[in-house]
Amino acid sequence: MSNPSNNKHDNTTGTSETSGGKASGGGTLKSPLFWIAFALTLGAVISWLPLSIIAKRRFSTSNKPRIRIFQDMAAQPKYRPQATSPIFADGRAMRVPVTGTVSFGDVQEDDHYYRGYKLAESPQQQGKFEATYFKGFPQQVTIDESFIRRGQERFGIYCAPCHGVDGYGQGTIHLRALELQQTTWVPPTSMHTDTVRQREAGHLYNTITHGIRNMPAYGKQIPVKDRWAIVAYLRALQLSQNAPVSNVPVDKRPTLR
Ligand code: HEC
């Protein structure tokens, strides 16, 4: 709505000019173009508002905690790693485990099951410890078909990429390294050499746990029991390529080719 004074003004100017009421009204009332420009400018200015608020928030600091709509226990008194604390004499918030204690479930006393070898002082050299690998499997594992199948599956995931599904060392990673002509590439050992066939079960287990020479360790990724399952499968795999005739029943032997 236009105010009355404007209207009066309108009328006086309208009569004095020849162009008529319509045109004179447009002259004093702002034209639609003006309002469009005005709205656009206003919109442009307002559109910067969120950006400037965000910018301010990003670069200014505050002692007040952030606004959290969902608390999720995030805002509670706590110490972050490596933080300091006035409570303790040494000023460290992180405490050292009490000497001589082992956290629950972390005792790994069984050498055979957890390590695959035992350490004993060398009879020749005092103070020098030597590892003796266990030949067989620990009592914690029962070797049956499902255990070996588990090992087969794990072998397929963790070992076959390098050693190949058949264990001859022609895994896809190896083939790719050849393709790239990697000069520093050490080929994965075949599982069907006399050396590996004669390795104690504990030695194979330890190879998985800690790696060997150029092979990386898989102890962090493969749980203890699965490592033994892989060893069990390795034995089956080796047998598949190296079965003695004595394994074949006598009456079946003539059918062998
Ligand atoms: C990233 C590739 C890679 C993967 C994955 C890998 N290996 Fe190996 N492995 C190697 C290489 C390379 C060697 C030879 C290392 C050397 O001679 O320096 C080797 C050597 C070995 C040997 C021979 C060790 C000896 O006694 O001389 C065994 C056994 C073995 N690997 C078992 C495994 C098993 C079991 C797995 C799965 C848990 C596995 N490897 C996964 C690369 C791999």
Question: Atom of ligand 1 at shortest distance to CA of 186?
Answer: 12
pLDDT-above-70 percentage for the chain: 89
Residue 27's pLDDT is: 55
Residue with the nearest Cα to atom 18 of ligand 1? 214
Is the CB of 133 within 6 Å of ligand 1?
Answer: no
Domains identified in the chain and CATH numbers: 145-243 (1.10.760.10)
Quote the pLDDT of residue 70. Answer: 80
Pocket residue to mutate for ligand 1, from 173, 215, 234, 237, most atoms within 8 A of Cβ:
215
Q: Could you tell me which residue, 21 or 101, shows the higher pLDDT? A: 101
Which residue minimizes the CA distance to atom 37 of ligand 1? 159
Ligand 1 centre and the CA of 202: distance in Å? 15
Contact (Cβ atoms closer than 8 angstroms) between residue 238 and residue 167? yes
151, with CB counted inside 10 A (0-12, 13-18, 19+), is: buried
Please tell me the distance between residue 70's alpha carbon and the centre of ligand 1 in angstroms.
49
Which atom of ligand 1 is found nearest the CA of 227? 38
The CB of 220 under 6 Å from ligand 1? The reply is no
Q: pTM above the 0.85 mark?
A: no
Cα 108 to averaged position of ligand 1 atoms, centre (Å): 25
pLDDT score at 2: 43
Q: pLDDT per residue over 75-92, tens digit each?
A: 778 888 999 999 999 999
Q: What is the mean pLDDT of residues 112-128?
A: 88
Decide: 237 in ligand 1 pocket, CB within 6 A.
no
Cβ neighbors of 68 (< 8 A, separation 6 or more) are 74, 75
Ligand 1, atom nearest to 196 Cα: 26
Tell me the average pLDDT across 241-257. Answer: 85
Predicted pLDDT at 103: 79
- Residue 174 CA: nearest ligand 1 atom is 2
Per-residue model confidence as pLDDT tens digits over 201-224 = 999 999 999 999 999 999 999 999
Percent of the chain with pLDDT over 90: 56
Tell me the per-residue pLDDT of 174-202, one tens digit each, with 9 for 90 and over: 999 998 887 888 999 999 999 999 999 99
Least confident of 37-41, 95-99, 150-154: 95-99
Average pLDDT, the chain: 85
* Residues 6+ positions from 208 with CB-CB distance below 8 Å: 217, 218, 219, 222, 227, 230, 231
Greatest mean pLDDT among 26-30, 70-74, 121-125, 129-133 lies in: 129-133
- Where is average pLDDT lowest: 59-73, 106-120, 168-182, 194-208? 59-73
Name the residue of 193, 212, 222 to mutate for ligand 1: max ligand atoms within 8 A of Cβ. Answer: 212
Is 152 a pocket residue for ligand 1 (Cβ < 6 Å)? Answer: no
- CA 161–ligand 1 middle distance (angstroms): 11
Task: Tell the residue nearest (CA) to atom 22 of ligand 1.
Answer: 189
